[in-house]
Amino acid sequence: MKYYSENLILKLNNYASQLRMDALKMIYERGAGHPGGCLSCAEIISTLYFYYLRINPRNPHWEDRDRFILSKGHASAILYAALARRGFFEIGELQTWGHPNSRLQGHPDRLKTPGVEMTSGTLGQGLSIASGMGLAAKLLNAKWHIYVLMGDGECQGGVVWEGAMMASKYHLSNITVIVDYNDVQLDGACHEIMPLEPFVKKWQSFNFAVIEIDGHNIIEILKAFDLSKEIHDKPTVIIAHTTKGKGVSFMENEAKWHGVAPDEEQYRMAITELKGGTNE
């Protein structure tokens, strides 16, 4: 069994807390954004960008890089925070998020922002685009891997399963899907609006390898990514059970915070709570 050092776990948890604070600050200052889904995927983003992804911030178009696709593009604030902290652009540029002529728009734009692999807006597109990338890599005998982060509400859309069919047909083991399964979407609980269960069996029926984890547990995330690289005959989906608004008590599991910015008092309360999640 692979050993993960306490220092690594501490570092990735600290980055997750920092990304949460960065994203929430951006949303507060802009007065718009999607805090709930940013906070729920922080450990996943932290583990990818500060440990797992083979990327080069000095050369964003490096041919052999791994590709990360944020299919749930409304969570752009935390992606931009990760890109800035990883060195793709200056951290100060985060203050321009959503401004006219900024490289950082409400939804990521691959033609504007260094490190962004897919322009997103309409939900459900990520896996289909990843399948095209995965097939291209297979034909080119390229070694890069594609990671796709999707929302659970997004999986209610049929286009997701069209992408899954393609990934399965071509045995694209170079694709790892991560579903941020927080069970909350814009108007309420996913299990009430359009239930996804039996979710594991759905993915298995599309011939995906399925791994279920606690999406806030760094060790489980690391093990899942390691395991996905050992599967060579099919694509993998990691179903990450998470908490919407994780880390801010009054945002957790509340559909209200899917797409609402905090006011000044709420922001101060949230940052106070999130600072308690760092260990320096």
Q: Computed from CA positions of residues 18, 126, 164, 187, in that sequence, does the dihedral angle turn out positive or negative?
A: positive
- Please give the model's pTM, rounded to 2 decimal places: 0.96
Q: Read off the pLDDT of residues 194-236 as tens digits, 9 standing for 90 and up.
A: 999 999 999 999 999 999 999 999 999 999 999 999 999 999 9
- One-character DSSP codes across 233-276: SS-EEEEEE--TTTT-TTTTT-GGGGS----HHHHHHHHHHHHT
Instruction: Decide: helix, strand or coil at residue 146.
Output: strand
Can you give the pLDDT at residue 93? Answer: 98
CATH architecture of 6-275: 3-Layer(aba) Sandwich (3.40)
Q: At what angle do helices 218-229 and 6-30 cross, to 10 degrees?
A: 100
Backbone dihedral region for residue 141 (phi beyond 0: left; psi -120 to 50: alpha; all else: beta) = left
Q: Tell me: pLDDT of 277 over 70.
A: no
